[in-house]
């Protein structure tokens, strides 16, 4: 039996389902989780969406956002839900390490797991996998699962459509990255359903605080270093910056992308000093793979043009390490 048929048979009787996604959930993580939960509930299942950490404020308008459970806030209740669940969906991530302690609860559970994801190099913890690294977003895959694999396009309500389009808009940066003819056909179908894309664009992209914009100004003016010989830009934020600007979850979202606006920058690296680790977020243009750097040197990964990782070295040590490894990639950088 193929995996979609297995999923269909699992979903034939009402089940207690847990839907989970990655730490620091973005629009795709939250959008795909909510969209999937609404579709499954129409089919008679009872769903709990459980995220490892809180989602950023700019997603709080989403229908159902207030029902999301957060493991960082109430681990016991979340673990209880996982223990009771008969089926677990893992969305927008592909290894259990990405969900920290929630991953331990998942490992203990004997419920079958379904992975739906578009990141490179999936691990094999799930029994059912619906992965496509050419998909723009997990939300695109949720649409394809419902409409194509289950032939239930009629079940895509306005709320489900809005959730799906939210993930598509955020993961593609409003149709700038990872687009395809297939994706745009899906978006056309969402428009046909009456989804108001300009309303969503406004809620998602034009809802920044004054503080956020001033922080961006600080990063670009005082914290950006350009290394022209490596076509690379680095922006860093120290613990002191975090205090001074009162930086909260989500406040640094998207800052890394600004460096790619510079004509001769191919790689943008955003380095932030967290309480116990230094976090790296990398973006690249064209054929150059930041996934390779993140995987080889910073215990991370993601996509060719968007990856992340971390380091246990100091902030300065980490920036020094970046500068040390860039020569290894120089040839690829200059030819990309």
Q: Which stretch, 12-20, 22-30, 265-273, 274-282, contacts Mn ion (CB under 5 A)? A: 22-30
- The least CB distance from residue 177 to Mn ion, in Å, is 11
C-beta closer to Mn ion: residue 171 or 291: 171
**Spatial CA neighbour of 99 closest among 78, 85, 118, 83:** 78
- The least CB distance from residue 239 to Mn ion, in Å, is 29
First to last CA, the chain: 43
Q: Contacts by 178-183 with C-beta closer than 8 Å and gap 24+? A: 178/135, 178/136, 178/137, 178/303, 178/305, 179/136, 180/134, 180/136, 183/135, 183/136, 183/140
Q: Which stretch, 53-61, 84-92, 215-223, 313-321, contacts Mn ion (CB under 5 A)? A: 84-92
- The least CB distance from residue 275 to Mn ion, in Å, is 26
- Look at residue 317 and give its three-state secondary structure: helix
C-beta closer to Mn ion: residue 79 or 163: 163
Q: Which of 92, 95, 140, 251 binds Mn ion (CB under 5 A)?
A: 92
C-beta closer to Mn ion: residue 137 or 163: 137
State how far the Cα of 12 lies from the Cα of 191, in Å rounded to an integer: 30
C-beta closer to Mn ion: residue 161 or 302: 302
- The least CB distance from residue 42 to Mn ion, in Å, is 24
C-beta closer to Mn ion: residue 31 or 233: 31
Q: Which stretch, 24-32, 76-84, 121-129, 303-311, contacts Mn ion (CB under 5 A)? A: 24-32
Site for Mn ion (CB under 5 A): how many residues? 5
C-beta closer to Mn ion: residue 231 or 303: 303
State how far the Cα of 32 lies from the Cα of 118, in Å rounded to an integer: 12
- The least CB distance from residue 174 to Mn ion, in Å, is 15
Q: Contacts by 121-125 with C-beta closer than 8 Å and gap 24+? A: 121/94, 121/295, 121/301, 122/94, 122/95, 123/94, 123/95, 123/96, 125/90, 125/95, 125/96
Among left, alpha and beta (phi > 0; psi -120 to 50; other), residue 20 is beta
Is 140 near Mn ion (CB under 5 A)? no
Q: What is the DSSP string of 87-151?
A: EEEEES--SGGGGHHHHHHHHH--S-EEEEE--SS--S--SEEEE-TTSS-HHHHHHHIIIIIS-
Of 277-336, binders to Mn ion (CB under 5 A) are none
Q: Which of 54, 95, 140, 171 binds Mn ion (CB under 5 A)?
A: 171
- The least CB distance from residue 217 to Mn ion, in Å, is 28
Q: Which of 28, 54, 241, 251 binds Mn ion (CB under 5 A)?
A: 28
In the complex, which residues of this chain contact Mn ion (CB under 5 A)? 28, 92, 137-138, 171
């Amino acid at each position: 039996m193929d995996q979609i048929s297995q999923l269909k048979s699992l979903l034939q009787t009402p089940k207690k389902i847990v839907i989970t996604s990655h730490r620091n959930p973005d629009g795709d993580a939250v959008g795909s989780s909510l969209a999937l939960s609404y579709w499954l509930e129409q089919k008679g299942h009872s769903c709990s969406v459980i995220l490892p950490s809180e989602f950023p404020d700019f997603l709080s308008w989403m229908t159902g956002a207030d029902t999301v459970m957060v493991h960082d806030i109430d681990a016991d209740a979340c673990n209880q839900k996982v223990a009771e669940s008969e089926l677990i969906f893992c969305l927008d991530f592909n290894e259990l390490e990405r969900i920290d302690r929630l991953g331990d609860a998942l490992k203990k559970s004997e419920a079958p797991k379904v992975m739906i994801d578009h990141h490179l190099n999936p691990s094999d913890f799930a029994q059912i996998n619906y992965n496509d690294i050419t998909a723009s977003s997990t939300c695109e895959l949720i649409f394809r699962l419902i409409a194509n694999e289950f032939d239930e396009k009629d079940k895509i309500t306005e709320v489900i459509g809005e959730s799906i389009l939210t993930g598509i808009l955020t993961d593609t940066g409003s149709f700038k990255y990872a687009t395809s003819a297939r994706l745009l056909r899906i978006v056309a179908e969402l428009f046909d359903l009456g989804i108001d894309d300009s309303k969503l664009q406004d809620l998602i992209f034009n809802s920044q605080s004054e503080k956020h914009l001033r922080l961006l100004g600080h990063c670009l003016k005082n914290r950006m270093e350009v290394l022209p010989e490596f076509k690379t830009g680095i922006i860093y934020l120290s613990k002191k910056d975090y205090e001074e600007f009162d930086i909260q979850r989500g406040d640094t979202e998207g800052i890394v992308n600004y460096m790619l606006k510079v004509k001769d920058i191919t790689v943008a690296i955003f380095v932030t000093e967290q309480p116990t680790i230094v976090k790296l977020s990398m973006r690249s243009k064209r054929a150059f793979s930041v996934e390779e750097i993140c995987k080889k040197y910073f215990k991370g990964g993601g996509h060719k043009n968007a990856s992340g990782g971390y380091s246990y070295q100091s902030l300065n040590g980490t920036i020094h390490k970046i500068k040390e490894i860039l020569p290894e990639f120089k040839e690829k950088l200059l030819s990309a």
